[in-house]
Amino acid sequence: MFASIVIENKSKYTDTFYTYETGELFVNPGDKVRVPFGKKEVYGYVFDVTDEKPDEEFEIKTILEVDEENSLNPEIVKTAAWMKSRYAIKYYDALKLFIPKGKAAKPGKEKEPYKDLISRYSKPEHFTSEQENAISVISESIEKNTNDIFLLHGVTSSGKTEVYMESISKALEMGKTAIMLVPEISLTTQVIERFAGRFGKENIAVLHSKLTERERFDEWMRLKTGKAKIAIGARIAVFSPLENIGVIIMDEEHEATYKADMSPKFDTLDVAVKRLKTYNGVLVLGSATPSVTSYERAKEGIYRLICLKERYNKTPLPMIHIVDMREELRNGNASILSEKLNRYICSALDSKKQVILLQNRRGYSNFVSCRECGYVMKCPECGISLTYHKKEDKMICHYCGKKYDVPKVCPDCKSKKIKLVGFGTEQVEEVISSAFPNAVVDRLDLDTVTKRSELDSILKRFEDKKTDILVGTQLVAKGLDFDNVAVVGVLLADTTLNLPDYRSQERTFQLVTQVSGRAGRGDEQGNVVVQTYEPENFTFKACMNHDYEMFYNDEIKIREFMNYPPFGDIIMVNFTSNDEELCDATSDRFTKYMKNCLKTQDKGLEKGVMNPKVAFNFKGQDSFRTYVLIKCPKGERNRYVYYIDNFQSLLFNERLKVNVVCDVNPYSIV
């Protein structure tokens, strides 16, 4: 027999299959093996086994040994091979995602994180009829191995987690395994508390990037050896070494954190779908605000849609008030606090209730808007907001790179009040502290929290009602569950609305809906005040009505018109290097190369290749970064990635020291 092997080596040079004879050994795809390589011995992974003798010009050597303990399963190598072509990465880069660093602990020395956690769970006496329905439909699919993808669209507190647990229970009953994914490491604790109560901690292993190397390896081993049947964690848990996966659940499926922010820039959803194909397992995507792409797939019938419309305890959703900041200005109020929000805060403080104020920091003073009419400068070709660059004093489109002068008067209403908009959380904290001198104000953002313990102590103070007003970035929007919050304010929704991202409206809808979930968790209805210069944007009307469908129907038309996902992809190819000239030259060369590849098809596809751009504010390992954006029509992605991969090989063969990273549908372009 002959085995195709990928060796453990990060060089592009060895990124290929090597053929070995299996000799006396019994070898399977996924096995870790020791093989002679040149003058050395190295480890590698078997990707394929065949009895046909391949045409090799070299002498075929024999595998020395199989490392049973650290071997993977056949599905994992299949998925890794697929990832190589999907993301234009090396085999070994894909494999490494499945294999933690380190080696097995000495018996008895294993570490188990979250072991001492007190489980908090009591099974509801009855499920709502919506829950019953969801559970029975998903369970049937797990039982019949239908390999379905479900989109569970349920308002906050509709009891989605109960549906997840019942689905997992069904999978275990069938002798299968399960993966439960959450978008944020900080949310894993809550989930484990509930799951441990339901399934027993011994059946659960946790995987995320904040475990120690030892913990991560040991949890991995517990999954691999079948001691734990449920993996819980952030996106890396999708690489759990499980076999026969019955169900994978992605909670808050719309979250940006499911997309890897470092190379390889994989999409957790794609990997989950691919893995489940082998096992005919079921995928459940849960969200109160599904991504537009997922919802479209549900409409098309690619996903099966299940709705949970009722909150299990029927508490009304909060009132959402949209405040027109242009009107405030006309009435002589130039502060960052509208009269209405001010009033709500006062009355909350009077009745000893708490307040959360959100200011999204990402948009700090970098888009231009007219305070008179709300006009925002957008790129006419790409439809996204232009970003101000101080160094050049120009407005730049982060998609196509076109530059525009900063207007002196508003092109729409001729007002001179057109200027940079934005402020950060520090400024908010200052203004709020002086506006409410008797209130205790605290701030939660990446500047104030550098350590997990600080985050915990800020939250603890708030939970203990020592803080009256909590000011923060989107960190405050997620998962906080306090029952004394009467008012939530979004100080400038425009910062999210004008992110240079085709999803900016989707993200605004999600943010407002999510942060609204923080208001009025007790028995009283909460109030949410959203301040904006663009109140007529359809996104806000949908937020006000708590109407996802309404938002979706408008948004999907724009996506279709612009050929943005789900109607096409945006591929960002990044070049980084320590050599500035080389970096520039390579991105120029790539642009020409890519246009050439696409020209031959005679469909005008080459027009989708934008000119290369320099990334400012780049803080990476290499010193310089340039990037090229490509608009790619639906269905062409694989071909485009193939071209990009070939270009990488070209660079490699010339021994050029430039790094290439491919990012499909990137979340931020800066």
Binding site for Zn ion (CB under 5 A): 370, 372-373, 375, 379, 381-382, 397, 399-400, 410, 412-413, 415
Q: Distance between CA atoms of 501 and 496, rounded to whole angstroms?
A: 9
CB of 262 to Zn ion, least distance (A): 26
Task: Verify binding: residue 315, ligand ADP, rule CB under 6 A.
Answer: no
**160 binding partner (options Zn ion, ligand ADP, none; Cβ < 5 to 8 Å by kind):** ligand ADP
Binding span for ligand ADP by CB under 6 A among 160-168, 210-218, 540-548, 620-628: 160-168
- Closest CB to Zn ion among residues 158, 369: 369
Please classify residue 301 by burial: count the beta carbons closer than 10 Å to its beta carbon, then call 0-12 exposed, 13-18 middle and 19+ buried: exposed
CB of 501 to Zn ion, least distance (A): 12
- Closest CB to ligand ADP among residues 156, 484: 156
Q: Which residues contact 513 (CB under 8 A, 6 or more apart)?
A: 156, 288, 289, 543, 546, 548
**410 binding partner (options Zn ion, ligand ADP, none; Cβ < 5 to 8 Å by kind):** Zn ion
Between vectors from CA 20 to CA 14 and to CA 24, what angle results, nearest 5°? 150
- Closest CB to ligand ADP among residues 145, 156: 156
- Closest CB to ligand ADP among residues 154, 241: 154
Q: Distance between CA atoms of 303 and 297, rounded to whole angstroms?
A: 6
- Closest CB to ligand ADP among residues 311, 639: 311
Task: Verify binding: residue 287, ligand ADP, rule CB under 6 A.
Answer: no
* Of the residues 29, 100, 113, 159, which one makes contact with ligand ADP according to CB under 6 A: 159
CB of 120 to ligand ADP, least distance (A): 9
CB of 357 to Zn ion, least distance (A): 27
CB of 287 to ligand ADP, least distance (A): 10
Report the residue count for the chain.
670
Q: Which residues contact 390 (CB under 8 A, 6 or more apart)?
A: none
CB of 121 to ligand ADP, least distance (A): 8
* Of the residues 78, 153, 160, 371, which one makes contact with ligand ADP according to CB under 6 A: 160
Binding span for ligand ADP by CB under 6 A among 120-128, 226-234, 315-323, 444-452: 120-128
How many Å separate Cα 349 from the centre of its chain?
Answer: 36
CB of 162 to Zn ion, least distance (A): 45
Type of residue at 345: I
**157 binding partner (options Zn ion, ligand ADP, none; Cβ < 5 to 8 Å by kind):** ligand ADP
- Closest CB to ligand ADP among residues 13, 121: 121
- Closest CB to Zn ion among residues 382, 488: 382
CB of 564 to Zn ion, least distance (A): 12
Three-state SS for 35-78 is EEECCEEEEEEEEEEECCCCCCCCCCEECCEECHHHCCCHHHHH
**187 binding partner (options Zn ion, ligand ADP, none; Cβ < 5 to 8 Å by kind):** none
Q: Distance between CA atoms of 275 and 279, rounded to whole angstroms?
A: 7
CA dihedral sign, ordered 625, 626, 632, 635: negative
Task: Verify binding: residue 482, ligand ADP, rule CB under 6 A.
Answer: no
Q: Distance between CA atoms of 114 and 192, rounded to whole angstroms?
A: 8
Q: Distance between CA atoms of 73 and 71, rounded to whole angstroms?
A: 7
Q: Distance between CA atoms of 635 and 658, rounded to whole angstroms?
A: 29
Q: Distance between CA atoms of 630 and 493, rounded to whole angstroms?
A: 29
Q: Distance between CA atoms of 7 and 3, rounded to whole angstroms?
A: 12
Task: Verify binding: residue 462, ligand ADP, rule CB under 6 A.
Answer: no
Task: Verify binding: residue 577, ligand ADP, rule CB under 6 A.
Answer: no
Task: Verify binding: residue 127, ligand ADP, rule CB under 6 A.
Answer: yes
Backbone conformation region of residue 23, classed left if phi is above 0, alpha if psi is from -120 to 50, else beta: left
Task: Verify binding: residue 124, ligand ADP, rule CB under 6 A.
Answer: yes
CB of 579 to Zn ion, least distance (A): 28
CB of 124 to ligand ADP, least distance (A): 3
Between strands 18-21 and 2-7, the pairing is antiparallel
- Closest CB to Zn ion among residues 253, 372: 372
DSSP label of 519: S
Residue 589 structure tokens: 């060369």
* Of the residues 73, 79, 157, 513, which one makes contact with ligand ADP according to CB under 6 A: 157
Cβ atoms of residues 21 and 54 within 8 Å: no
Chain positions 128 to 147 lying near ligand ADP, rule: CB under 6 A, are 128, 131
Task: Verify binding: residue 161, ligand ADP, rule CB under 6 A.
Answer: yes
Task: Verify binding: residue 156, ligand ADP, rule CB under 6 A.
Answer: yes
Binding span for ligand ADP by CB under 6 A among 127-135, 355-363, 438-446, 643-651: 127-135
- Closest CB to Zn ion among residues 17, 404: 404
Q: Tabulate helix, strand, coil % of the chain (nearest 5).
A: 35, 20, 40
- Closest CB to ligand ADP among residues 73, 131: 131
Other C-beta atoms lying within 10 Å of the C-beta of residue 490: 29
SS3 376: strand
Residue 195 structure tokens: 């799951």
Cβ atoms of residues 151 and 249 within 8 Å: no
Binding span for ligand ADP by CB under 6 A among 63-71, 126-134, 472-480, 615-623: 126-134
**82 binding partner (options Zn ion, ligand ADP, none; Cβ < 5 to 8 Å by kind):** none
Q: Distance between CA atoms of 219 and 192, rounded to whole angstroms?
A: 14
Binding span for ligand ADP by CB under 6 A among 159-167, 553-561, 565-573, 628-636: 159-167
**413 binding partner (options ligand ADP, Zn ion, none; Cβ < 5 to 8 Å by kind):** Zn ion
DSSP label of 203: G
Closest C-alpha among 320, 354, 508 to residue 439 = 354
- What element of type H or E holds 529? strand 527-532
Residues that bind ligand ADP (CB under 6 A): 124, 127-128, 131, 154, 156-162, 312
